[in-house]
Structure 1
Amino acid sequence: MVLAKNSPSTPTFSKNYKITGRILLPYAEINEPFTAYYDENANKSRIDYYGDLQLTVQRADLKQFYKIAYMVRTNEQTDRVCFNMAASPISPVTVQSVLPDLSDFQFKQRGICKTLVKTLPTLTAEYCEEWEYRVQLGKKDNKYVFILKRDDNGDAIPIFYLMMGYDSLLGSHYDKYEVFYESYSTDKIDPKIFDIYQKYECRGFPGPGKQAVALMNPMREFILNDYRHVDEHFREFIEKHGKNYTNKYNEVNFRHFIFLQNYRFIMAHNRKNLHYQLAVNHLADRTDDEMSRIRGKIQVMNEDKGGIPFDKSKYDISKIPEQWDWRLLGAVTPVKDQAICGSCWSFGATGTIEGQYFVKTGRLLKLSQQQLVDCSWSEDNNGCDGGEDFRTYNYIMKAGGISTEEDYGHYLGVDGKCHDNAVKKSVQIKGFYNVTIGDAEAMKTALYYHGPVSIAVDASPKTFSFYSHGIYYDPNCSSKNLDHQVLAVGFGKLNDEKYWLVKNSWSTYWGNDGYILISQKNNDCGVLTDATFPLIA
């Protein structure tokens, strides 16, 4: 490390530049590339995210935001569309820099660049400067660090920007983000860069104004530390979902921190313009550990379960249609919320029994998940701490059947006291089938001819937690490490992509009214890995 004898002049940056870089939000699992064009004198800026997937233009001279993204139209063609929105008090249109104002920063030290920024090993042995700004807001200590180098004329070249927030009362970091600047040019920018929206017929932005900062100009949050839109969303979130935090500072601020990171993850994902979208739901204030507790499946492979192998060769596969949805025929009960209880296995089991019973009798019964949570311990299910559908079938056969919700009692979301001997058993089963692992044709056959099928999936990716609509496909969603039991109720094809229609037990606030479309590609999330259905007596 080499310290400067005299502090260098406070850095300023050109009023005209093009920058490429990346935003890293480690708490939100985001690594988002961007390209920025900035012309302060013309009151124009543009920032592109994920290459050309989403373009945002801030025309302060016109007091207009523009956003250009890909959308699937009604004719199933994917085209670019343009949205525009005028300035408002909560969403002012200002020219947006991706570089902070360093006038309040203090010079800290000069040293070897790759020593100051260890996460950028490609930096050479050049010397860089470290500048720092700290501000205390109550118990929150915000630290901002900027690393730069100088060219031959002494002008600043940006390298790295770090924000670290520490809460002394919580005793933890409540925020962190990093911006890596990969290239920087002050060559004059072609004015046409800022007119790209003119190639399209722009229309009004389809959403409330408070979303503008996150969707039209997300960089504002990181460079200008403008969190007003997040604070407003958090207040609405609390009201909508009836959140009752303790009045203690710790609880409210901790939940706000979790919400902020999940909100950022959702917005960054949606800027990728994939075939599915995420949304804030009732789970947005929960930690990863809390989410793992409601994924209560204990994994056991099909060959260890003792079920009957499903033989698709006994069925006429040619009769199976391209689209099938058991909801339309009345074989599926309404979506429930398993709450803070790892009882997903009981919902998968009751769902497939309800459906199979409907196919056989034409009657739809609401069966009791609570009976299974309370009473199937003898088969090594663990109530709210996890279980398996096949263990549940074994319990039901030994217990003489399963009761309706009306007879046994409503679902409680906690382990209760078993009283299955005192209630009527409405449905009996005499065995269960294992659908062939990895066989999509067998799954369709079982669904079409027998009814809804209990399946296990990997629900650990954040993308699954905040799924909203579209066909879900995440390469990080495992086909082997399955931790959540759900119910397959159909299949279909949308925009030339095949999907499974799946019912979850995380309430109608999650997904598309409690449902998700999971891509059939590559057995995503393991839909075909652990599928079973019962044989009704």
Structure 2
Amino acid sequence: MSFKLFFFILLIFVFVGSIETKTSRLKRAAPVWPDNFKVSFVFSLPEVPENQPMTVFHDKANNRERIDYYNGLATDIQRGDENPTNIYQVRVAQDKQICYHDSGVVILELTQVLPDLSQWVYTGKTVRRGQKVDSFQWIDYYPDYNKTNIYKFYTIEGSDYPVQFWMMGYDNVFGSHYDEYILNYYDYIPDGSVESDFESPTVCDNSEKTTVVNSGLRLKLGNIFPNVKASNKKEFNNFINKFGKSYPSHSEMLKRQTIFYKNHDYITNFNKENSHMKLAINHFADLTDEEYKKFYLLPTRTVVPDFTNKVYERPANEEIPDSWDWRDHGASPPVKDQAACGSCWAHSVIGSIESQYYLATGVMPDLSEQMVMDCTWNTTVQDLSNQGCQGGDEPGTFEAIKDIGGIMREQDYPYLGVDGYCGFEKDKVVAQIESYTNVNNIQEDVMSAVYNQGVLSIAIDAAHTSFKFYSSGVYYESECSSTELDHAVLLSGFGKTTDGEQYWIVRNSWSVNWGDQGYVKMSMKDNNCGVETEVVYPTLARGFDY
């Protein structure tokens, strides 16, 4: 055989081999997840940052599952085999675990923790987390926003063992910014869940009955995977594209679509009939008003101003400008996101302390809301106590922080958005409280206090659909109460429109994707929504090394 003939045959083998390799790559079957499995993973949002370890025991055939969060800090057990609405939830409260039992009318579907890859594209072999893996990809292009969501899923080469889910796209858990999501899987065991995994813990022997399912943690999981069964409704498509929404089932998507159009019609009609402010679709648009109140507001409480403590005294003959905004002077802390946890009270308290810290040092700190949630269950204010994600009291919290010995940084005590055990470390305290001051519910006193003392902690009535979708203008709601309050925020200043209407500048804790970059202008008329009713601010302890 001549050398030329041998070389030609060799080229044919190489060419055929390359075709076979490419063909086998393109024909790699997507994994099909079994009805029964156990899997552990760490859910990460690097930009928040959040790193949440979870273990899921999944039994689709019997409609039951168990989810352990943070290595057992919290647990959900769904027993659809006993009752389609039966769920046990173990949570931390006052440094001990409490079991809640719900057997109401809400039928919960199993949580999606492994995406349906049947329509994804196999893109070949690569290396991930130090392992040889097969790679699958899904891409959604949103022309209205000129953005592309990229989803990738990796399994160990030649197997269906999950290694990692990765996404770069619109944040659909904490807001709507473009963000990175990662699920790192380990301990995947097909047919790995057994009968004993779904038995309720002994703490549930005396469970508390509830009709409120604390599902904030559950909502984070299935929402990060792409929805391949998109609705053909234009407005709803735009909504799910903009905010990166996805739902665990087609029936759930249709339910959310119905809710969306109800909210969409409300916003459209409101904007036609009102000129003083405008509403807009935001990431709450697929929530009912009841869900919005449950996940983002506090239990309504009747607030009677407390003037038994130190009361602010307005300087005599003081001249106050028509407008003042602490954002212009560096003392209004950045907008944060409480997520699906009723911790607005902790964000309000921490924001006012951060403002005082800035005014004392010229440096804006990032202090820990989670420490306040975990460590101030018992306050020194009579008949008042904090309840973590279920609400709290701002004045009592200042007293509790004073008693504990101070506040830690966010980096040393990161936000979880779920109640945890108190991990206070005295040697990591960066600020201490000497006292707090009440402000009379008189408009001029409140203006003077925010002008002279920095950002103030306040409570408002936020239970109205108009507030839920506020976008711009001066907020005024005729149905608002000035005493029945359910949301804690920060008062950052005041101003006046060109036609002379006075308003307060209020910072919220629902991310920059709500309202006007996280802020709302609230009318000063008749103490609308109770802005002036409960106003307090802290004084930092003197002699502490800041």
TM-score class normalised by the smaller sequence: 0.5 to 0.7
Distance in 2 between residues matched to 1:346 and 1:245, nearest whole Å: 30
Please name the residue that 1:322 is paired with: 322
SS at match of 1:262: helix
Using the TM superposition, give the Cα deviation of residue 306 of structure 1 relative to its aligned residue in structure 2, in angstroms: 4.7
Question: How far, CA to CA, are the matches of 1:393 and 1:302 in structure 2?
Answer: 18
The CA deviation string for residues 416-456 of structure 1, in whole angstroms up to 9 with x for no partner, is 2220136611111111111102x111011111111000111
User: What SS does the corresponding residue of 1:522 show, helix, strand or coil?
Assistant: helix
Select 1:506's aligned residue among 510, 522, 525: 510
Say if 1:315 and 1:445, in contact at 8 Å, map to a contact too.
no
Within 5 Å, which residues of 2 pair with 1:44-443?
Answer: 231-247=233-249, 249-293=250-294, 294-296=296-298, 299=301, 301=303, 303-304=305-306, 306-312=308-314, 314=315, 316-318=317-319, 320-379=320-379, 380-409=385-414, 411-421=415-425, 424-437=428-441, 439-443=442-446
> How far is 1:321 from its partner?
1.1
CA distance in 1, matches of 2:317, 2:300: 34
Report the equivalent of 1:484: 487
Q: Is the 8 A contact 1:393 1:431 kept in 2?
A: yes
Q: Aligned partners of 2:449 and 2:273: how far apart in 1? A: 35
1:507, CA displacement in angstroms? 1.1
Looking at structure 2, the residues matched to 522 and 398 of structure 1 have their Cα atoms a distance apart, in angstroms, of: 37
Change (3 A) 1:393 1:315: farther
Query: How many angstroms apart in 1 are the aligned matches of 2:266 and 2:370?
Result: 34
- Classify 1:229/1:466 alpha carbon distance in 2 versus 1 (closer, same or farther; 3 Å): farther
Write the letter of the residue equivalent to 2:258: F
AA matched with 1:238: I
Distance 1:346 1:434 in 2: 17
Contact 1:297 1:485 in 2 (8 A): no
Matches of 1:440 and 1:304, distance apart in 2: 16
- Name the structure 1 match of 2:97: none
TM, length-normalised to structure 2: 0.54
In 2, Cα distance between equivalents of 1:535 and 1:300: 26
The residue identity in structure 2 corresponding to 1:276 is M
Taking structure 1 as reference, are residues 490 and 304 closer, same or farther at Cα in structure 2, changes over 3 Å only?
closer
| CA distance in 1 between partners of 2:268 and 2:431 (Å) | 45
Question: Aligned with 2:471: secondary structure?
Answer: strand
Q: CA deviation at 1:298?
A: 6.0
1:468-500: per-residue Cα shift (whole Å, max 9, x none)?
A: 000111111111111000000010101210000
State the 1:229 CA deviation. 11
Alignment equivalent of 2:460, drawn from 457, 482, 503: 457
Contiguous gaps of at least 5 residues in structure 1: 1-169, 171-207, 209-227
Aligned residues: 309
Question: 1:229 and 1:385 mapped to 2: Cα distance?
Answer: 35
Q: Shift in Å at residue 412 of structure 1?
A: 1.6
Query: CA separation of 1:532/1:422 partners in 2, compared to 1, >3 Å: closer, same or farther?
Result: closer
**What is the CA distance between 1:371 and its match in structure 2?**
0.8
3-state secondary structure, aligned to 1:339: coil
CA apart distance, 1:230: 9.2
Distance (Å, rounded) in 2 between the aligned partners of 1:422 and 1:250: 50
Q: Give 2:200's aligned residue.
A: none
2:528 aligned partner: 524
Identity of aligned residues (%): 43
By how many angstroms is 1:266 displaced? 0.3
Query: SS at the partner of 1:258?
Result: helix
Distance 1:255 1:342 in 2: 22
Residues 69-126 of structure 1: per-residue CA shift (max 9 Å, x gap): xxxxxxxxxxxxxxxxxxxxxxxxxxxxxxxxxxxxxxxxxxxxxxxxxxxxxxxxxx
Equivalent residue letter for 1:492: G
Deviation at 1:358, TM superposition (A): 1.5
Deviation at 1:414, TM superposition (A): 1.2
Instruction: Provide the rounded CA distance (Å) in 2 between the counterparts of 1:505 and 1:297.
Output: 17
Instruction: Let me know the Cα RMSD of the aligned residues.
Output: 2.3
**1:475 aligned onto 2:481:** no
Q: Which consecutive aligned stretches of 4+ in structure 1 deviate over 4 angstroms post-superposition?
A: 302-306
SS state at 2:514 partner: coil
Query: What SS does the aligned partner of 1:476 have?
Result: coil
What SS does structure 2 have at the residue aligned with 1:338? Answer: coil
Render the CA deviation track for 1:291-322: whole Å, top value 9, x for unaligned: 1121126636455575311121x35521x211
Q: Which ranges in structure 2 are unaligned for 5 or more consecutive residues?
A: 1-106, 108-143, 145-229, 380-384, 542-546
